[in-house]
Structure formats: structure tokens, C-alpha cells
């Protein structure tokens, strides 16, 4: 390859890891780019200055770093929590929510640097490349995305280490994790290595945020979480900003062995993959938020919102954050949260998180209606008329069509002999066959 891009600037989404550090040098040496790196801390980057130094040491002409944790929580995590977005009913989408924000930072940096090119270090097999490419395409369709790990760079890990040494890139002496890990405030995503056999239980070293439930404290711990319009506001009575609340809940729940997910999921690129997640705060908050919703939302909204949640999770997973479809669903979700204010009590006990209480000033739960004790205000007599009308279609159909009993071909029909087996109570005469028609 000739130095096709000499004089051009390329802004690279930079994590500070080996892959993207090698990519800095490679983009410069092989393609001729001037490289600017862009790093957003979503809660797991650690020392931003060290990242900056490493980018420069790797050959970047400039290294942009920023703390994006608050923006991440406010504009990505909370809306997804309000939506109830869990991919394939389980994955709280930590990685998937982080990517569009990193892409947005990348586009902003490209604009500031007058660059026509952006790059990322994703491989050609995962979801993350899709999320970066689609987000950049939606925000800045004029930019060209370069993905060296998807083609061009083609280095094994050993070759990367070698390349790094030759280019003066600091290579950490610490042993590389045997897994591929992505981490932010909302969760830790772990894949590859021995996890690739879905029959094998994950080894201990997979988990960093949660203890084995067997080793969790014997004494359960309870927390109270207050929500204001679907957004977590206090933890055990202390008003915390989103970043602090999530961090603290990650720690408390993780200590009690809460937050592990082991699943086989369907990637957008068509493959099934075995994924381990640690997401203590995310799991607890999703559970608590739904518990509060069960008090304040109507039956219809709960039912319909669950469908929206699935659609929402799907679009986030598939990298369509910056789409009109998302804006429309988000508008619905936000509207549903008007009355989702109140408190939830959650108990952690050796790996289990259980909602044990909930209350809200907007609660639709009325003791006078629900009680079987004194003060019952429910009109029992009125049920008769209600059931007569509700059951009208059933009775009408039963008078004209054979649905149940002899003569019916229905799939659920109980065979006669199943009921007259020895020892079983004798069924009474079958009225359906005797009835005059």
C-alpha cells in the first residue's frame, strides 16, 4: 500500500490498549495519515493523562481525552433504563450504549480537527464495528471510516507486540487477559478464550466486579432506591449523581454476588456467541424500575411498553442509536415515565436480588380495593354483571360450535382414557354430547 493519505488527518477512537496503539503507528506509517486520537472515559478508562501520553508515544500528533461519564449516564444509560432495554431479555447493553457516544465524540473531534477520516479498532466480526460505522454515518455521512483491524493491519497479537516494540510503543508487562473485555460504568462484557465453549462454566478469573455467590456475605443486605420520573435519584436516602449512584450500587450488589449474566446471544452479523456480563447496578436498577412501574402504570401501558422495550433493545444493540426510530420510541418511553416516581426496596442475598417493597405517591394500588380484610371497598356483587358480559362470546360460541368434549378435534382436547385411568376419579357424564343441539 502506498502512502495514499499523506497530509490527511485521521481521528482514531483510542482506548489506550495494544490494538489501537498499534493502529496509531500503522495509520501513520502505512497510510501516511496524521493521527489524532480521541478517548472518552465512560467509567473504566482510569488515568486519562496516561492514555494521552501513550497515544503520543505511539505516534499521535494530538491526543484528545475527555471524561464522558456524566453524559453517558444522563443521555444513554438512563433513557435505556427507562425503556427497560435488555437485549434478548437479559443483556443491559453496556457496550452497545457506549459505542454511539464514543462515535459522537469521534465525529466532534473530526470536525474540530478538520479531518475527513475517522478510524476505530473494531474487528470485522463483532457488533461494535457496526455501531461505530452506523453512528458516524448518521451524524456525519461525509466522513470516511477506516477500520484497520477489519482489513489492512492483519496482525496477530505477537506481531502487534513486535510492531509496538519496534515503534517505541509502550507494551505493558502485565499478562494480557485471556478474554476480550469491554468495560464501562453500566457493565463489563467478557468474551472469547475458554468461554467459547458454551458448555463450560466460566472460570473464576472471568469475574472482576462480582464475588461468587457462595462467597458472598451470609447476611443479606437491603437497599432503598428512589426514582424521580424513572431516573434513579437516591440510594439509601443519599442523593447521588448518576455516576456515583451506579458506582456505589455496582459495589454493594457485586459484593453480594449479584450481577452476573451468562448467555448465548445473537450478534447482528449472524453468529451466536457466548457472552459473560457483569452488571450489578444495571440488573438491580432494571428490576427496581419495573417494580415501581408495576405500581404506577396501567395494565395496557405495562403490556405495550414491554414490546417497545424489546424493539428499543434491538435497535440499540444493532447500532441504530442515531435513528428516527429511536427518537420516536424515546418520546413514547419518556411520556410513560411521568408518574414513575417513588421508592423500591431491594434485598441482596448470595447472588439473588429481590424486590421486597415499593411505594409511590402516584401508586394505582389501592388497599381498599385489594384487601381481603376489613374496609373492602370492592363491589363484589358488581362482578356478576361484569362476568356475564365478559363471558358472553364464550357462551354464544359454546351453543353453536363443538369446541370441547366429544366430537371436538381441538389440539388441547383431553383424551377420554386419560381421565378414566385406574385410580383416577371417574369423570361425570359428558354434557356436551348429551346436550340437544
Enzyme catalytic residues: 19, 99, 128, 180
45 belongs to the binding site for ligand ARG (CB under 6 A): no
95 belongs to the binding site for ligand ARG (CB under 6 A): yes
133 belongs to the binding site for ligand ARG (CB under 6 A): no
Which is closer to ligand ARG, CB of 44 or CB of 302?
44
Question: What's the Cα-to-Cα distance from 100 to each of 124, 167, 230, rounded to whole Å?
Answer: 18, 31, 22
Terminal Cα-to-Cα distance of the chain (whole angstroms): 86
Instruction: Quote the Cα angle for 376-377-379, to 5°.
Output: 110
183 belongs to the binding site for ligand ARG (CB under 6 A): no
Spatial distance between the Cα atoms of 435 and 431, rounded to a whole number of angstroms: 6
275 belongs to the binding site for ligand ARG (CB under 6 A): yes
Q: Which stretch binds ligand ARG (CB under 6 A): 148-156, 180-188, 281-289, 295-303?
A: 180-188
Q: In whole angstroms, how close is the CB of 418 to ligand ARG at the nearest point? A: 46
Q: In whole angstroms, how close is the CB of 189 to ligand ARG at the nearest point? A: 4
Q: Could you tell me how many residues of this chain bind ligand ARG (CB under 6 A)?
A: 10
134 belongs to the binding site for ligand ARG (CB under 6 A): no
Residues 6 or more apart in contact with residue 139 via CB below 8 angstroms:
103, 104, 107, 322
349 belongs to the binding site for ligand ARG (CB under 6 A): no
Q: Which stretch binds ligand ARG (CB under 6 A): 106-114, 145-153, 176-184, 336-344?
A: 176-184
189 belongs to the binding site for ligand ARG (CB under 6 A): yes
177 belongs to the binding site for ligand ARG (CB under 6 A): no
Q: In whole angstroms, how close is the CB of 315 to ligand ARG at the nearest point? A: 13
Which is closer to ligand ARG, CB of 189 or CB of 337?
189
Q: In whole angstroms, how close is the CB of 96 to ligand ARG at the nearest point? A: 4
| Interacting residues with ligand ARG (CB under 6 A) | 95-96, 127-128, 180-182, 189, 191, 275
Amino acid at each position: 500500500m502506498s502512502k495514499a493519505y499523506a497530509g490527511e488527518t485521521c481521528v482514531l477512537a483510542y482506548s489506550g490498549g495494544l490494538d489501537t496503539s498499534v493502529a496509531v503507528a500503522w495509520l501513520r506509517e502505512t497510510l501516511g495519515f496524521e493521527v489524532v486520537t480521541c478517548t472518552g472515559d465512560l467509567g473504566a478508562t482510569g488515568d486519562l493523562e496516561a492514555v494521552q501520553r501513550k497515544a503520543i508515544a505511539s505516534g499521535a500528533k494530538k491526543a484528545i481525552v475527555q471524561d464522558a461519564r456524566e453524559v453517558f449516564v444522563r443521555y444513554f444509560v438512563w433513557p435505556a433504563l427507562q425503556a427497560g432495554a435488555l437485549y434478548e431479555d437479559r443483556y443491559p447493553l453496556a457496550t452497545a450504549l457506549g459505542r454511539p457516544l464514543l462515535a459522537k465524540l469521534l465525529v466532534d473531534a473530526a470536525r474540530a480537527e478538520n479531518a475527513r477520516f475517522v478510524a476505530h479498532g473494531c474487528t470485522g466480526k463483532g457488533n461494535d464495528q457496526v455501531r461505530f460505522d452506523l453512528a458516524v454515518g448518521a451524524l456525519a455521512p461525509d466522513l470516511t471510516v477506516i477500520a484497520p483491524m477489519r482489513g489492512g493491519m492483519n496482525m496477530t497479537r505477537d506481531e502487534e507486540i513486535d510492531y509496538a516494540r519496534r515503534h517505541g510503543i509502550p507494551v505493558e508487562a502485565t499478562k494480557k487477559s485471556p478474554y476480550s473485555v469491554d468495560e464501562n460504568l453500566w457493565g463489563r462484557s467478557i468474551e472469547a478464550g475458554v468461554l467459547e465453549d458454551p458448555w463450560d462454566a466460566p472460570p473464576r478469573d472471568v469475574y472482576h466486579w462480582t464475588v461468587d455467590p457462595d462467597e458472598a456475605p451470609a447476611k443479606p443486605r437491603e437497599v432503598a432506591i428512589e426514582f424521580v420520573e424513572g431516573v434513579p435519584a437516591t440510594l439509601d436516602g443519599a442523593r447521588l449523581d448518576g455516576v456515583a449512584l451506579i458506582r456505589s450500587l455496582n459495589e454493594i450488589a457485586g459484593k453480594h454476588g449479584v450481577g452476573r449474566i451468562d448467555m448465548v446471544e445473537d450478534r447482528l452479523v449472524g453468529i451466536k456467541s457466548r457472552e459473560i456480563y457483569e452488571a450489578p447496578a444495571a440488573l438491580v436498577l432494571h428490576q427496581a424500575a419495573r417494580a415501581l412501574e408495576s405500581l404506577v402504570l396501567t395494565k395496557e401501558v405495562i403490556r405495550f411498553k414491554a414490546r417497545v422495550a424489546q424493539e428499543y433493545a434491538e435497535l440499540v444493540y444493532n447500532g441504530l442509536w442515531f435513528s428516527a426510530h429511536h427518537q420516536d420510541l424515546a418520546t413514547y418511553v419518556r411520556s410513560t415515565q411521568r408518574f414513575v416516581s417513588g421508592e423500591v426496596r431491594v434485598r441482596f442475598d448470595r447472588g439473588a436480588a429481590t424486590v421486597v417493597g415499593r411505594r409511590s405517591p402516584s401508586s394505582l394500588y389501592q388497599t381498599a380495593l385489594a384487601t381481603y380484610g376489613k374496609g373492602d371497598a370492592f363491589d363484589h356483587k358488581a362482578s356478576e354483571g361484569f362476568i356475564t358480559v365478559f363471558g358472553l362470546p364464550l357462551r354464544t360460541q359454546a351453543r353453536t360450535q363443538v369446541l370441547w368434549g366429544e366430537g371436538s378435534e381441538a389440539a388441547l382436547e383431553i383424551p377420554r382414557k386419560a381421565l378414566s385411568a385406574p385410580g383416577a376419579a371417574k369423570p361425570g357424564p359428558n354434557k356436551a354430547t348429551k346436550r340437544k343441539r
